[in-house]
Structure 1
């Protein structure tokens, strides 16, 4: 990290002339925290591999009488082989324009000529160091995007089902995936919309690139533009550095916009403009950045509500739903329930070190007859609880908590114990009301939020606040 009062951390200088090394170190010490110098390029390589550098100043010639820069080009290649993001400024002899041009073709960022102007050298090195900072930030953001888009270890579940409704889904995925068409996935919560998005990406020509997921239901309105389009340093109070947005992070890959139906109406034109023009303007910037993304969106809103112009812009809808895939709820493909139950029971038995065992026929029949208001997600959680809580004998219906789930579908949100007992502490009352709504809807966030009159993002914040 840069030292106090110095904008950059480390500049490595490589030159066989000791006087050049001394001059560079004295000149650059106010710009960098460290300015290590080397006469032997071999020694510098170890320093570059070990601690790295913001900038490397590299002489073009080392041997006595050498003028063709062959050694400099060799060591330039060695540096870039060790660090492809390295920023190298070549030091050339006076008038060595051809050598400077060739060096930049080979990956050098800039050049300075001997004898140099101190002002010219400082300006060149400062610009080069800023470029290195920008490159590192871009790499960090891309890695962050990959981390965000990747499923948790062991948490990925394949699309499972042999029913006619699922066969239709597979057929649509197979036909749509290889194209560049935008896809809109419809379905209730817990039906597996993100799994479909991942499968579309995996089978597409962009499958080797990043899939970036954005839950629009969890993005605060005041952060929408910064989150999707990025921002430049100083754009607002907390913008301490440039940051690329999700659209730019997905460049060359797929952008998955989950809960697109929760995007407020007044923000929809901004997303539409970015998708139509295929470019974004980061907050605080005045220059557009081109983007190349394929958009897969998902929503739990039914088609009739999506068609409501007062809720969702139709021109944005037309942009998103070139291909439309509707996922069936689990109650409409009951024949898939045994397959899913067996899969999740085996998965969690392995995860928790439990013995493998089958689900008895009567228990499986009860599971297949249940409506599963939370769909596959609820079934998965029920299977996990059963594996954890079941005794040593065979599974029972009670192990899957179906009775509690059935009761929770119809139970009203009763007055909280705090309010009923005369306890008017607002914090405790809020916690108990939120908890009651979550239990009523089997922790379905969208339904609980609607019951409470909150947005999903607001409910998430209250859950985090109260440790729920």
Structure 2
């Protein structure tokens, strides 16, 4: 693995040397430049992950290095180095696009942590770019299925393989995991995309009406059959038939469906005509069909006819890495629909949302975000915009709960109280907290505090 490449820029050679020794010991590749012109020349010739530059230098100062470095190599992160007395310049530099700043005299641990944090951020950014590239290469119909976690990568991989085939598919998973979206995406990405996609929920229609809905009927077949009716299977001819909640299909209709799959023929209720159909069947269930087979509630031969290819949809509990991005996705959609300028979800609310197990999966998450969007009065969704169950949630087990997280929570609350006491005045707040203004800005950004 290639070492991260760092350029240290300072007109004091002793400082360059000291930083070189420190960072080399940390496993980084380090280069030195002793003025701004030399630094820019190196940046033109070589790719650097991080540039650490002093602000005050003769001829070409750190601000100009920052400005030109962003033009030459936009992906390079720039850290400004400044004497404690000139932290005001550091605030200005961060507004101009610097990733962070370090005050002199240096604290070695602070340098290590700052660089580690920036490199981790760059790594995440690179992963996101790769993911976006992968997503751009996927069929357009996949865009409605949000997720980049390992379980979802497996789902996408299987979907891509089954698209061109004619094989029947069984999509399994808990209620609300997006089984219908997957079925539609497969249809819209495949050779039948210009043909009908017909969907029916087998558990939502009474048994005495379901046969007619699926297979159609002839006029006079029963009391209310006032005219011939084409069934959904026939309507799906040359396209895709999506049978949701297939486990709820009554035994008598299981036989008839099996016959259609095997022979590609059906006979409407009350009719003697045989109709030939060409359909790809995609079924979905949140039930354990194999267990129902063992119990005699579902035909084994039908199960194997449907389950040529299984796609198992993971629950949100199994793909927690996707929860935050799904929330942001729906927040953007519902904010636009409501005509509101909602920018984000605050830390406390986010921690509660991430701690929740989401038994209703994406459907429940979507409804929760829609509710919060309607109720919030500001630009940030807070814990008070969420249902009561989130306000009483124990968030201690969220992600990697640690001492650092506990300290962040305390620090966030302390700064928010201080800001409120000083009526939002940042300079006064910084003075009361005993920190400089640049440090306060950095903490506001890091801890996601609106001020």
TM-score range, shorter chain: 0.5 to 0.7
2:74 — aligned with what? none
Question: Does residue 338 of the first structure (1) align with residue 329 of the second (2)?
Answer: no
Contact 1:157/1:195, CA 8 A, preserved across alignment: no
Deviations 1:25-60 (A, max 9, x none): xxxxxxxxxxxxxxxxxxxxxxxxxxxxxxxxxxxx
Of 353, 362, 367, the residue aligned with 1:381 is 367
| C-alpha distance 218-405 of structure 1, shift in aligned 2 (>3 A) | farther
Q: Distance in 2 between matches of 1:215 and 1:293?
A: 17
Q: Secondary structure at the match of 2:294?
A: coil
1:302 — aligned with what? 288
Contact 2:245/2:285, CA 8 A, preserved across alignment: yes
Q: Distance in 1 between matches of 2:319 and 2:231?
A: 39
| C-alpha distance 308-402 of structure 1, shift in aligned 2 (>3 A) | farther
**Count of aligned pairs:** 252
Q: Distance in 2 between matches of 1:406 and 1:223?
A: 45
Question: Does residue 168 of the first structure (1) align with residue 116 of the second (2)?
Answer: no
Length-normalised TM-score, structure 2: 0.54
1:190 — aligned with what? 176
| C-alpha distance 288-252 of structure 1, shift in aligned 2 (>3 A) | same
1:204 — aligned with what? 190
1:112 — aligned with what? none
1:230 — aligned with what? 216
Length-normalised TM-score, structure 1: 0.52
Q: Distance in 1 between matches of 2:392 and 2:289?
A: 27
2:100 — aligned with what? none
Q: Distance in 1 between matches of 2:213 and 2:321?
A: 41
1:325 — aligned with what? 311
Question: Does residue 245 of the first structure (1) align with residue 231 of the second (2)?
Answer: yes
Q: Which runs of 4+ in 1 moved over 6 A?
A: 404-407
2:257 — aligned with what? 271
Q: Distance in 1 between matches of 2:369 and 2:319?
A: 18
Q: Distance in 2 between matches of 1:221 and 1:401?
A: 37
| C-alpha distance 257-404 of structure 1, shift in aligned 2 (>3 A) | same
1:8 — aligned with what? none
Contact 1:334/1:369, CA 8 A, preserved across alignment: no
| C-alpha distance 205-393 of structure 1, shift in aligned 2 (>3 A) | closer
Residue 367 of structure 1 and its aligned partner are, at CA, apart by: 1.1
Q: Distance in 2 between matches of 1:184 and 1:377?
A: 20
Q: Distance in 1 between matches of 2:286 and 2:311?
A: 12
2:269 — aligned with what? 283
Note the aligned Cα RMSD (angstroms): 1.9
Q: Distance in 2 between matches of 1:284 and 1:307?
A: 30
Residue 363 of structure 1 and its aligned partner are, at CA, apart by: 2.1
| C-alpha distance 216-230 of structure 1, shift in aligned 2 (>3 A) | same
Question: Does residue 369 of the first structure (1) align with residue 359 of the second (2)?
Answer: no
Residue 303 of structure 1 and its aligned partner are, at CA, apart by: 5.1
1:397 — aligned with what? 383
1:133 — aligned with what? none
Q: Distance in 2 between matches of 1:401 and 1:304?
A: 37
Contact 1:335/1:368, CA 8 A, preserved across alignment: no
Q: Distance in 2 between matches of 1:393 and 1:158?
A: 25
Q: Secondary structure at the match of 2:344?
A: coil
Residue 393 of structure 1 and its aligned partner are, at CA, apart by: 5.5
Q: Distance in 2 between matches of 1:281 and 1:193?
A: 29
Deviations 1:232-260 (A, max 9, x none): 11111111111100000000100000000
Structure 2: stretches of 5+ with no match in the other structure: 1-141, 394-451
Contact 1:213/1:255, CA 8 A, preserved across alignment: yes
Structure 1: stretches of 5+ with no match in the other structure: 1-155, 408-468
Q: Distance in 2 between matches of 1:260 and 1:296?
A: 10
Deviations 1:91-129 (A, max 9, x none): xxxxxxxxxxxxxxxxxxxxxxxxxxxxxxxxxxxxxxx
